[in-house]
Each structure stands twice: as structure tokens, then as C-alpha cells.
A and B are shown apart, each in its own frame.
Chain A
């Protein structure tokens, strides 16, 4: 991870955001990310992001739960410790349904939330750069990454007529690191010295 340069454009209305996203992409600039205080429908498509496969992961976790529950109960009641309860057969499938269902839901939910946190790098003490403190309040913040070939001034001019309420240039760490939000930004790799 390393520091990168960004041009950060903030909008106060999602209606200005969409044309701006479209124009920026058309002009060939690289949008690092758009930060919004609430989910904006269609923004993921406008940014060209692919659909998430979290659903598929959830399905796989669910199936795992189903087979774990059914498999364990069947094994326990037919081979490990067969007992007769209430005159029911050892393999009493209808009586296994409730626990099977509950474990399906449990595995799917827990698995999905953990996958979600893993994919989005969400955990206690994870710190990320906040481009604008109001990006979780009322501003829609677009961070455009400046590559070596980007003309920063030109990019700033480009945003002039796009309805931004705030425009600035920032140098920031793009990834995440372990840290606390009450302290000034600390980037672990900032002072790292190459040994060889």
C-alpha cells in the first residue's frame, strides 16, 4: 500500500452525481470510488461495478448448514448412539426438519456477514481514509485517482461545471490499515524503509 494522489469532488445532490460520474468515466479518468451517505440505486452500474456474488456465497453457506445438520443428526441417531425416542424410528426425518432449517439459516447468515466483512475489509480497529467528513452525512464524494499521466489542473477544471460544492486535491492512503479514528492518520507503510 502506498499513498496516492486524488482529486476529490463533493456533490450535495445525487442528481448532479450521476452526470458527473458519466462524464468523468467518458473522459477516461480513473474513479477510485464514490462515497455516499446512503445507498444510491444504479450508482454501482453507473460506475461499471459488477454485481456482487454475495448471494451465491449465502446459498453455499446455507447448503453447508443443511447438510451439516442432517448429516450429524442422521449419523448420531442411526450409527453413533441409536436410541428409540417416543417410538420414532432412528432416522426420523420429520423430526429433523426444525433443526435442519435453523442451522441452514444460521450458517447462511453468519457466513454471509463474515464474508461481507471480509470483502469490504470491515472490522473493529480497521481504519480507512475519509476523504470528506461529511461523506457519511450529506455529501456525495467522488475520489478520482491521479495517475502519473493525469493533468491535475485540467481535471480540476473539468469539474468546474459539474455542480460540485467542494473540490480539492488530496494525497492519501488508498487501502486500509489497523488504527484508531481518534488519532491522526497513521499509515503503517509510510516510513517503511526498504532494507535491500
Chain B
């Protein structure tokens, strides 16, 4: 969507190199039309192997029950719910990029939104696995749905945050898929119309729904995108808010906190952007898309990471402050003995979280670091490890020492099947992502074309710009900035 009418000449171009419209199509569609390289196959097979390991783990879980995981009466939510919250968090960046940045008229979203939205959908798919298989008797999973049933018409509890989760996550998944797919229609049509093989013409013909690019259709498409963005903006904020309600509405010290919704949302954006960074750094290299996902894009995401990382940092400090200021002995025990004490059983996870989420992202205050791909990639991994620690700290560190010492579960550790399940979701995620990068346009072709003229390399500093725009930045500032 062309959200920019005019863009300052002082801004970095979003599309590099001298590109006309046809060149943009070529660059983005070509990787789909040729056979993928060796790296793609290696990555894909590793992902499928992980996925199969996950399937095997889940098979064990279903056959023998969730006692296969080391969960017990005290630690009833262990790795599984940790991973659930972690994956849902990662699934936040895509919709944030495509919806909120659309409303904020951020032109750079066009280069990364397609891949980020795909990542969101796959991450939510992974997240959904955990609560479903955690049910144990998974064949009864449909009990969570409100339908007139034969159990005396007993309904699910609409007052329960766990049921809100069901609605929030399924709505989020549905709306994300719709948003993503409507954006894909014109790009599928582009691939269809230049396809050389019959099979490709057939498949992309089906997938494109018969899109022609008619003016009226574009007008409706723009209206639809805008409204879907407007709907998705509160939706994306609501999803992690509701996930945080799972904890915040309980009475467990460490969970019973009003700060949770904004804290979870900031953390979600933080980890989501880190994941987008790690994926896009690989994809842009693998598919030669450096002209579309520029260092400027990476830098913009790093800015979001340092902002949200600092927000979660403030949240950690607020929690500690309130635990002290409330003078509540259970809160104090939870925060100062179970978490912040490095020598407690799970103290390592708290300090790992602080190091990964709060301290290390501060490196992005330096422009050189924000624009360094190696540092960015390394940091994106660190941030996601840190966010996993955060979920683990919140969930397990809050419950593993129950009120009665005899119920303590200090030696909670996951079994191979619990870890295998987690690896399996990585397999699912990367299998989907590899297939996506092979068969789908990784960058929104139509959207890139619509910003090519306002933000393309060859249109900046050209004779198409006015005299004022051609001034050097210093001269411009001297003349016009007061």
C-alpha cells in the first residue's frame, strides 16, 4: 500500500539499486522459479527431522500421559507453558509490523512485512501446540468450544482467562492468516502471469483467486487492508494481554501483578523483532534480497529492540520495587529469594534473563552496532534466549517453591520428551518457513512497487525532485531549519 506521498530526501532509500517495476518482479519472483540451493535442502531436512522428533515426543505424551514430562503437583506448568508463552510472544512482531506500522505510516515495513507475517502465523501455530497437548486427553480438546452439548448443556467458563486465551489465540491466528493472504493475492497473480510451466500456472492460478489488478479491486483491497490493520492493532495488543491474564488474575506471588499486560506485550514485541531479524538476515542473503531488506531495515528493527528491551528492563525493576515497597512477605520471598538471589535453585535463569534482555541490547544505542549484521544476528539469538528465560522465570520460578516446604519441587527438570516437543515446534516452524521461502514471494511485490518511486534509489537525488529536495542535508538545514 502506498502509504507515502512524499518522502524526505534526507531519508535513506528503502529500495536500493536502480530498479524499475519489472526488475522488482524479477528479483523477488526468481528465487521461486529456480531450484533452491544446497543450503535450502540441508536446512529443510534438518527442520523436518526436528519435526519428526517432535511428533514422536507427542506420541509418547499422548500414549503415556503428560507424566512423561516431569511435571508434578507443584510445577504443573513447566517447559510446555513456558514455550507456549515464548512462541506467542514471537508471533507478535508480524502483525505489529504489518498493522501498527501501517497505521503509523512507516514506509520501511513494506520490505519486511510479508516474511514477518508468515513468521507470526507459524509461531502461533507452534504456540497452539503446547496448551493443546498439555490437555493430556487431547481427543477431548473440543470441550473448550462453547457448543450446545450433551453434558447437561454445561458450558465452558467464560469468566476464565484460560478460555479467553482460546478465543484470543484462535482469533489472532485467523485474522493474521486473512491479512496475510489478502496481501498475497496480487503477488500470486504476478507469479501466475509470468509462469512458464503449466503446473505453476495452475497452482498460482488457484492461489491468486483470479486476481487481475482491476482499479476497483485495488480500491477495495486498500480499504480492506486499512480496516484489517485497524482491527489487528488492538488485537495484537490484546493477545499477549490475555496471555498475561492467565497469570495476573491468579493469586500466586510473582504472577499476581497488574503490570503484566504491558510488560508481556513489550516483551513479545522484543522477542518477535529479534526473531524477524534472525530470519531476515539469513533470507536476504540466501535469496539475494539485500536491495529490499537493507541495513536500514535491520537498523529500524534494532531500534525497536533497544526500546522494548528497555521497557522490559523497567518492568523487572518495577516488580522488584513493588515487592519491596508492598512489604508483602510472600512477594518479597518470591522476588528476592527465589528469583534475584543468584544462589537459589533457579537464580541462574533470573540473571540470565537480565543479562540477555536488559543489559546486552543496550549495545544498540550505537549506530555502528545497529548496522552490523554479525552483531545483530548474534543479539537476535541472545534476545530470544533471554525471553525464554523470562517466561521460565515467571512460570517456574514462581511456583517451584510452594507455600509448604514439603511440596517444594526444587529439582524440576524437563525430560527428553518435553525437550523433544520443544525441538519439534522448532521443526514445525522452520519447515513452514523454508516452504514459505521457496514457494511464496518473501517480499510484498506490489507494496515495494508502490514505494519504489518515492523511496527508490534512482528516484532520490534525481532531476525528478525539486530544487529544495536536491539541497545537501547541511545546506537544507542552513536554509530551512530554524
State the A residues within 8 Å of B (CB). 33-41, 43-44, 47, 49, 51-52, 54-55, 58, 62, 72-73, 76-77, 80-81, 85-86, 88, 92, 95-96, 98-99, 101-103, 105-106, 108-110, 112-113, 116-117, 119-128, 130, 133-138, 176, 180-182
Q: With a CB–CB cut-off of 8 A, which chain B residues contact A109?
A: 174-175, 178-179, 228, 231-232
Interface string of B450-478 (1 = CB under 8 A from A): 10000000000000000000000000000
Residue in contact with A36 in the complex, picked from B205, B218, B220, CB distance below 8 Å: B218
B209 touches A105 (CB 8 A): no
B215 pairs with A36, CB closer than 8 A: yes
Q: A138 and B21 in contact (CB under 8 A), knowing A76-B158, A122-B185, A124-B206?
A: yes
Contact partner of B153 among A80, A119, A138, CB < 8 A?
Answer: A80
- Which residues on B sit within 8 Å (CB–CB) of A127? 205, 210
Residues of B within 8 A of A120 (CB): 214, 216-217, 220-221
With A39-B222, A127-B205 given, is the CB distance from A137 to B164 under 8 Å? no
Q: B186: which of A38, A41, A119 is its contact (CB, 8 Å)?
A: A38
Residues of A within 8 A of B201 (CB): 181-182
Q: In the assembly, what is the distance between CA of A136 and CA of B155, in Å?
A: 50
Tell which of A35, A76, A99, A137 has the most Cβ of chain B within 10 Å: A137
Question: Contact: A110 with B178, CB < 8 Å?
Answer: yes
- Would A85 and B220 count as touching, CB distance under 8 A? no
Q: A54-B224, A102-B238, A103-B167 are in contact. List 18 more A-B contacts (CB 8 A).
A: A37-B186, A41-B2, A43-B215, A49-B216, A52-B219, A55-B223, A58-B227, A98-B161, A105-B235, A106-B174, A113-B228, A116-B224, A120-B220, A120-B221, A124-B207, A136-B189, A136-B193, A181-B208
Query: Which residues of chain B come closer than 8 Å to A125, judged between CB atoms?
Result: 206, 210
Closest to B219 in A: A44
User: Contact residues of B with A, CB < 8 Å?
Assistant: 1-2, 5, 20-22, 25, 146, 152-155, 157-161, 163-164, 167-168, 171, 174-175, 178-179, 182, 185-186, 189-190, 192-194, 198-199, 201-202, 204-224, 227-228, 231-232, 234-235, 238, 242, 245, 445-447, 449-450
- Total A-B contacts with CB atoms under 8 angstroms apart: 209
Inter-chain contacts of A88 with B (CB < 8 A):
159
A37–B210 touching, CB < 8 Å: no
A34 touches B215 (CB 8 A): yes
Q: State the CA gap A55–B192 with chains docked (Å).
A: 30
Contact of B199 among A39, A52, A116, A182 (CB under 8 A): A182
In the bound complex, residues from chain A placing their C-beta under 8 Å from that of B219 are 39, 44, 49, 51-52
Whether B238 lies near A181 (C-beta < 8 A) is no
Give the chain A neighbours of B223 by CB distance below 8 A. 52, 54-55
Output the least CB separation between A58 and chain B (Å): 5
Asked if B25 contacts A99 (CB within 8 A), the reply is: no
- In the complex, what distance in Å separates the CA atom of A134 from the CA atom of B157? 55
B209/A126 in contact, CB under 8 A = yes
- A106 → chain B closest CB, angstroms: 4
Chain A to chain B contacts (Cβ below 8 Å), 6 pairs: A33-B212, A38-B2, A101-B234, A120-B220, A124-B209, A135-B213
Measured CB to CB, the nearest residue on chain B to A120 is: B217
B171 — which chain A residues lie within 8 A by C-beta? 102-103, 105-106
Q: Which residues of the other chain, B, contact A105 by a CB distance below 8 angstroms?
A: 171, 175, 231-232, 234-235
Given the known inter-chain contacts A110-B178, A137-B22, please indicate yes or no for A119 contacting B155, CB distance below 8 A. no
- Give chain B nearest CB distance to A94 CB in angstroms: 9
Q: How far is the CB of B278 from chain A (nearest CB, A)?
A: 29
Q: How far is the CA of A88 from the CA of B198 in the complex (A)?
A: 62
**Contact check: which of A38, A96, A99, A116 meets B447 at CB < 8 Å?**
A38
Give B75 Cβ to nearest chain A Cβ, in Å.
24
Contact partner, B205, options A35, A92, A182, Cβ 8 Å: A182
Out of B158, B186, B234, B238, which one reaches A73, CB within 8 Å? B158
Q: CA A117 – CA B2 in complex, angstroms?
A: 22
Query: What are the residues of chain A within 8 A of B199 when measuring CB–CB?
Result: 182
Cross-chain contact of B159 among A49, A52, A92, A138 (Cβ < 8 A)? A92
Residue of B nearest to A90 (CB): B159
A98 touches which one: B154, B167, B194, B224 (CB < 8 A)?
B167
The interface residues of chain B lying within 8 Å CB-to-CB of A102 are 164, 167-168, 171, 235, 238
- Report the nearest B residue to A104, measured CB to CB: B231
For residue A51, give the distance in angstroms from its CB to the closest CB of chain B: 8
Docked Cα-Cα span, A36 to B154, in Å, equals 54
Expressed in whole angstroms, the Cα–Cα distance for A33 and B214 within the complex equals: 6
Which of B154, B160, B213, B446 has the most chain A CB within a 10 Å cutoff?
B213
Instruction: A58 to B205: give the CA distance in the assembly, Å.
Output: 28
Question: CA–CA, A130 to B192, complex, Å?
Answer: 11
Which residues of chain A have C-beta atoms less than 8 A from B193's C-beta?
A: 130, 133-137
Residues of chain A with a CB closer than 8 A to B222's CB: 39
| Contact of A98 with B198 at beta-carbon distance under 8 Å, contacts A39-B446, A126-B210 already known | no
B2: A residues at CB distance < 8 A: 38-41
Q: How far is the CB of A129 from chain B (nearest CB, A)?
A: 8
Top-3 shortest CB links A-B: A181-B205, A126-B210, A138-B21
Minimum Cβ distance to chain A for residue B459 (Å): 12
